[in-house]
């Protein structure tokens, strides 16, 4: 089973090499094949999920602080304290599957040649590595892997202003990741280890615990790094440009999984390595998260470009995720995890649809698109479904993350957190407002010339790419336990909460 973790990285990496060397016409098939194998591999860890650590049988402090389902630990660069330590647990598993799925769908959808297909697979290596890494420096390394490929995807296949957008993306995110490097090295040199299993729950085991001041500095560095990636207001300004210019598959992967590296890192590395720092900074994080929710929604109300609107909606959704994390409670972080996955599914779908509409009509301007329902009822229906899922209708995936982030803030109690919860709830209502505005402008009314001239049919490959996302949005909406089933024990460890 340990070889499985290595295979998860080797298969897409090998795929990228093979695809890059093949002629263009074979690229789609072969890249889809490699992505499919990776997806199957990404699902497999569920088979080794341990059953003995159910939440009532397990008390923190009983066993090792963190028990991955499967792990592999090899020395790599002892001089730098870097170990090739990978592992899967309940926190990372849903995101790993999501990455496998979205890359597969993007590879199937991609019609732009071998270079893009190869880059998608390289991106997958970086993202999977980030979610699998249990060593801080290794985490940093994989975090960096996605940087240049994503730059190339935007700069190579993007819209008219792609160069500026790509440059902004790469410089912003590098600025974030160098802060991550500082934070990670601060933790590694102060604790003497970069091993996340040792660092997580160090307060209970007493091993390698960091002083409160170090934790604060480290958490600020790490939180800033992840806030750029997530992105958290006010560090989000790279995101709309990148999304507007990126090709459809780039937007899907960027929104669907790359942003999750920020929120996942905040939970796994930020809270895991510096819990006291996180607790100290949580009010500030909460305020920023709520501002992001409201600001994202208000900006969305004024947007006139389809992809830009969806991009800004991501700022709001990531605000809910970060609010959940900021509460530092199991409910809150669970809300963050389910919100992460839901956002990946729904926004992935939204970007697929927006990209298709933009490709068909040749414009993303809301003034020029209208009456989609008249000419392309299926597409309009799907857009309606995705928009409603995104605004958090109960029964669809988007609901749980947002509702429970607010509930967790209420549970935290006190006037401060109650205010945050109330403002976040208002932000949630605004989310509904701008999505309904979007639907009114795009789907209702008479068909505009751009829409009337476009082809209405949804092709088979498009159905193939979208159906899994639609079904999973429904499934996670009805059974959020799909994501949350195995998160209680790891989260209790992470947060140092007694169950």
Partner 1 sequence: MTSQAVDHVALLPLYAAAGTAILALLADLFAGKRAVTITATLLGALATGVTALAVGPWDATFCVPGGCSWVPSWPAAATAALFAGLTAGVLALSVPALRLGAAPAGEFCFLLACSMTGGVTVAYAGDLLTLIVGLETLTLPLYVLVGLRRFAPGERTTTDAASASVTFFLISVISTAIVLLGIALNYAATGAVHLGMLGPAPAPFAALAGVGAALLVIGLAFKVAAVPLHAWAPATYDGAPVPIAAYLSTASKLGGVLALAAVAARLDTSAVVAVLAVLTMTVGNLVALRQTRMVRLLAWSSMAQAGYILAALALGAPGVPAALAYAVFFMVLELIAFGVVVALRPVAADGGTLDDFRGAARRHPWPGAALVLALAGLAGLPPGLAGLFAKVSVVEALVAEGWIWLAAVVVVNAVIALAYYVRVGALLYTGPAEDTGRRPVSRPVAAVLVATTIVAVVLGFAPQLLLGAL
Residue ranges that bind partner 1, judged by CB under 8 A: 76-82, 126, 137, 140-141, 144-145, 147-148, 151, 155-156, 163, 166-167, 170-171, 174-175, 178-179, 181-182, 185-186, 188-189
CB of 373 to partner 1, least distance (A): 41
CB of 149 to partner 1, least distance (A): 9
Buried b (16+ CB within 10 A) or exposed e, 325-358: bbbbbbbbbbbbbbbbbbbbbbbbbbbbbbbbbb
Check if the beta carbon of residue 282 is closer than 8 Å to that of residue 327.
Answer: yes
Nearest to partner 1 of 125, 299 (CB atom)? 125
Alpha-carbon dihedral sign for residues 255, 260, 263, 265: negative
Nearest to partner 1 of 17, 422 (CB atom)? 17
Q: Is 429 exposed, middle or buried (0-12, 13-18, 19+ CB in 10 A)?
A: exposed
Query: Among all chains, which residue has been given the structure tokens 């796994």?
Result: 268
Which candidate, 241, 400, 255, 226, places its Cα nearest to that of 322? 226
Check if the beta carbon of residue 400 is closer than 8 Å to that of residue 415.
Answer: no
Nearest to partner 1 of 140, 417 (CB atom)? 140
Nearest to partner 1 of 133, 372 (CB atom)? 133
Whole-number Cα distances in Å, 408 to 39, 324, 325, 411 = 33, 7, 9, 5
Task: Give the integer Cα–Cα distance in Å for 22 and 290.
Answer: 48
The total number of residues written for the chain in this structure: 499
Nearest to partner 1 of 26, 167 (CB atom)? 167
Task: Give the integer Cα–Cα distance in Å for 365 and 169.
Answer: 22
Nearest to partner 1 of 140, 435 (CB atom)? 140
Nearest to partner 1 of 129, 296 (CB atom)? 129
CB of 129 to partner 1, least distance (A): 10
Determine how many CB atoms are found less than 10 A away from the CB of residue 211.
10
Rg for the chain (alpha carbons), in Å?
Answer: 21
Task: Give the integer Cα–Cα distance in Å for 438 and 272.
Answer: 39
Nearest to partner 1 of 175, 207 (CB atom)? 175
Nearest to partner 1 of 221, 338 (CB atom)? 221
Which candidate, 350, 273, 287, places its Cα nearest to that of 322? 287
Whole-number Cα distances in Å, 462 to 158, 341, 443, 467 = 20, 21, 19, 8
Nearest to partner 1 of 180, 388 (CB atom)? 180
């Amino acid at each position: 089973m340990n070889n499985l973790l290595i295979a998860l990285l080797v298969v897409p990496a090998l795929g990228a090499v093979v695809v890059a060397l093949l002629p263009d016409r074979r690229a789609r098939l072969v890249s889809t094949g490699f992505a499919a194998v990776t997806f199957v591999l990404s699902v497999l860890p569920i088979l080794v999920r341990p059953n003995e650590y159910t939440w009532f049988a397990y008390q923190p402090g009983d066993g090792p602080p963190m028990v991955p389902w499967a792990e592999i630990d090899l020395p790599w660069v002892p001089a730098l304290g870097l170990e090739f330590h990978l592992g899967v647990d309940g926190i990372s598993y849903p995101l790993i599957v999501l990455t496998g799925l979205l890359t597969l769908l993007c590879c199937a959808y991609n019609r732009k040649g071998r270079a893009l297909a190869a880059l998608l697979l390289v991106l997958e290596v970086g993202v999977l590595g980030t979610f699998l890494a249990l060593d801080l420096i290794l985490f940093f390394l994989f975090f960096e892997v996605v940087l240049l490929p994503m730059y190339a995807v935007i700069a190579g296949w993007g819209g008219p202003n792609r160069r500026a957008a790509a440059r902004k993306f790469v410089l912003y995110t590098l600025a974030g990741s160098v802060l991550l490097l500082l934070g990670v090295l601060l933790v590694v040199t102060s604790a003497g280890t970069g091993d996340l299993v040792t660092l997580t729950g160090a307060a209970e085991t007493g091993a390698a615990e960091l002083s409160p001041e170090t934790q604060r500095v480290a958490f600020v560095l790490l939180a800033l790094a992840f806030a750029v990636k997530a992105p958290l207001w006010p560090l989000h300004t790279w995101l709309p440009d990148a999304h507007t210019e990126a090709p459809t598959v780039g937007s899907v992967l960027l929104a669907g999984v790359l942003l999750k590296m920020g929120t996942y890192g905040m939970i796994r590395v930020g809270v895991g390595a510096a819990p006291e720092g996180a607790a100290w900074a949580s009010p500030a994080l909460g305020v920023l998260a709520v501002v992001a929710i409201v600001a994202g929604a208000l900006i969305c109300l004024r947007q006139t470009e389809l992809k830009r609107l969806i991009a800004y909606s991501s700022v709001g959704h990531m605000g809910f995720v970060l609010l959940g994390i900021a509460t530092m409670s199991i409910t809150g972080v669970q809300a963050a995890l389910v919100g992460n996955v839901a956002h990946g599914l729904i926004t992935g779908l939204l970007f697929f649809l927006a990209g298709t509409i933009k490709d068909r009509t040749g414009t993303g301007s809301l003034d020029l698109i209208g009456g989609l329902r008249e000419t392309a009822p299926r597409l309009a229906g799907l857009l309606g479904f995705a928009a409603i899922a995104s605004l958090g209708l109960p029964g669809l995936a988007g609901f749980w993350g947002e509702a429970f982030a607010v509930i967790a803030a209420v549970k935290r109690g006190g006037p401060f957190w109650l205010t945050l919860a109330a403002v976040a709830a208002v932000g949630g209502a605004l989310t509904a407002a701008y999505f309904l505005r979007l639907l009114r402008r795009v789907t209702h009314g008479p068909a505009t010339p751009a829409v009337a001239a476009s082809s209405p049919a949804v092709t088979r490959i498009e159905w193939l790419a979208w159906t899994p996302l639609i079904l999973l949005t429904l499934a996670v909406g009805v059974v959020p336990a799909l994501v949350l089933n195995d998160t209680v024990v790891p989260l209790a460890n992470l947060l140092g909460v007694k169950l």
